[in-house]
């Protein structure tokens, strides 16, 4: 049994049930990615795991205890969450914002102790922000800003990292940049990473474990080789996919894809042309 698992949860959002009796276990020290179409409940699942949303029934268990029963500060020492980007309060330098990540470890006024400073310094270094740390956060580009939020989560010093679409709105190079950083953190520090990604190819390439969701339930779950099959993708996204093998990870990736049902016509058109 892993440290983090979800048991029989029912989650609704302003009265509408989004997730209905879902069970899943998140493997320790692995990268797990949740995929699925818009509105399938993947962000809801992620937020429920991170205790942002409360369950109507069932519970998320961390170290064998229901997460809502644990003190929120205790949980914050175990897991950090990166929501989709929001506005940054103006007037903060990168160092200052990253230092906010020490919150669960501090008491009183929040004077930074040696241990805090070391952790902040490490987080800034790992995310490659050392040169920028005195800059105001509002002056950064999207990719840099995402790194700052990751650095803040790292300063929190947790073994679980939860990220909601960390690569959205970033260009290809910056997307890779973020995922390579997460891969490194997983490899070198054995951190458990759970995230939502829209790009199936990146998800497959960087994950040990994938969860495919549709309409609030899990359709498939397991290593990419098991989840990234044309039948699963057809079921989840309603698309016909040609799969191939990623030369960098040996996991399956999409070569090309088409909305289900149109494939035959398109192939004929292509052959004629």
Partner 1 sequence: MIPNKYVSEYQQRRNKKNISIIFVVILLIISMLIISMNTGYIRLSPKELFETFFGMGTERQSLILFEFRLPRIVLSILVGMALAVSGCILQGISRNALADPGILGINAGAGLGVVLFISFFPSTTETPVFLLPFIAFLGSGITAVLIYLLSYKKGEGISPVRLLLTGIAIAAGISAAMIVLTLKLDSETYQFVAVWLAGSIWGSNWKFVLSLLPWILILIPFVIAKARVINTLNLGDVRATGLGLAVEKERILLLGAAVALAGAGVSVSGGIGFVGLVAPHMARQLVGARHQFVILASAMMGGLLLLVADTIGRVILQPSEIPAGIVVAIIGAPYFLYLLVKSKA
Out of 34, 76, 218, 246, the only residue in the binding site for partner 1 (CB under 8 A) is 76
Maximum Cα–Cα distance across the chain: 74
Per-residue DSSP letter, 262: -
Instruction: Out of 1, 16, 38, 109, point to the residue binding partner 1 (CB under 8 A).
Output: 109
Indicate whether 261 belongs to the interface with partner 1 (CB under 8 A).
Answer: no
CB of 108 to partner 1, least distance (A): 7
CA distances from 24 to 61, 220, 271 (A): 10, 11, 44
Q: From CA 108, how far away is CA 169, in angstroms rounded?
A: 38
Distance between CA atoms of residues 195 and 21, nearest Å: 21
The CB-of-93 to partner 1 minimum distance in angstroms stands at 7
Near partner 1 by CB under 8 A: residue from 11, 22, 55, 95: 95
Comparing CB distances to partner 1, the nearer of 83 and 143 is: 83
- Applying CB under 8 A, among 90, 188, 256, 273 the residue interacting with partner 1 is 90
Let me know the angle formed at the C-alpha of 102 by 96 and 103, rounded to the nearest 5 degrees.
100
Q: Is residue 96 a contact point for partner 1 (CB under 8 A)?
A: yes
Site for partner 1 in 111-170 (CB under 8 A): 112-114, 117-118, 120-121, 133-134, 138, 156, 162
User: Chain centroid to CA 19: how far?
Assistant: 18
Does 81 interact with partner 1 (rule: CB under 8 A)? yes
Give the ranges where 100-229 is alpha helix by DSSP (H). 114-126, 142-155, 172-189, 200-206, 224-227
- The residue from 103, 180, 250, 266 that contacts partner 1 (CB under 8 A) is 103
Stretch that binds partner 1, among 73-81, 194-202, 208-216, 233-241 (CB under 8 A): 73-81
- Number of residues near partner 1 (by CB under 8 A): 45
Burial class from Cβ neighbours inside 10 Å (0-12, 13-18, 19+) for residue 247 reads exposed
Q: What is the spatial distance between Cα 179 and Cα 109, in angstroms, rounded to a whole number?
A: 35
**Shortest Cβ 236–partner 1 spacing (Å):** 26
**What does the binding site for partner 1 look like in residue numbers (CB under 8 A)?**
47, 50-52, 72-77, 79-83, 86-93, 95-96, 100-101, 103-104, 106, 108-110, 112-114, 117-118, 120-121, 133-134, 138, 156, 162
């Amino acid at each position: 049994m892993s440290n983090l698992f979800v048991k029989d949860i029912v989650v609704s959002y302003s009265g509408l049930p989004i997730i209905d009796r879902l069970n899943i276990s998140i493997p320790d020290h692995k990268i797990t990615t949740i995929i699925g179409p818009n509105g399938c409940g993947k962000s809801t699942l992620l937020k429920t795991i991170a205790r942002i949303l409360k369950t109507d029934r069932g519970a998320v268990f961390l170290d064998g205890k229901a997460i809502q029963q644990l003190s929120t500060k205790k949980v914050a020492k175990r897991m950090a969450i990166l929501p989709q980007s929001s506005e940054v309060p103006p007037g903060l330098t990168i160092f200052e914002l990253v230092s906010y990540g020490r919150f669960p470890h501090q008491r009183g006024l929040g004077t930074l102790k040696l241990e805090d400073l070391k952790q902040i310094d490490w987080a800034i270094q790992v995310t490659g922000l050392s040169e920028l740390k005195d800059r105001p956060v509002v002056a950064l580009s999207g990719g840099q800003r995402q790194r700052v939020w990751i650095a803040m989560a790292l300063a929190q010093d947790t073994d679980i990292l939860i990220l909601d679409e960390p690569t959205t709105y970033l260009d290809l190079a910056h997307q890779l940049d973020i995922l390579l950083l997460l891969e490194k953190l997983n490899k070198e520090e054995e951190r458990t990473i759970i995230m939502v990604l829209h790009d199936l190819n990146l998800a497959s390439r960087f994950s040990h474990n994938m969860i495919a969701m549709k309409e609030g339930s899990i359709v498939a779950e397991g290593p990419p080789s098991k989840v990234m099959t044309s039948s699963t993708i057809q079921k989840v996204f309603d698309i016909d996919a040609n799969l191939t093998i990623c030369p960098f990870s040996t996991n399956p990736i999409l070569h090309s894809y088409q909305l289900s049902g149109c494939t035959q016509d398109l192939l004929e058109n292509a052959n004629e042309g």
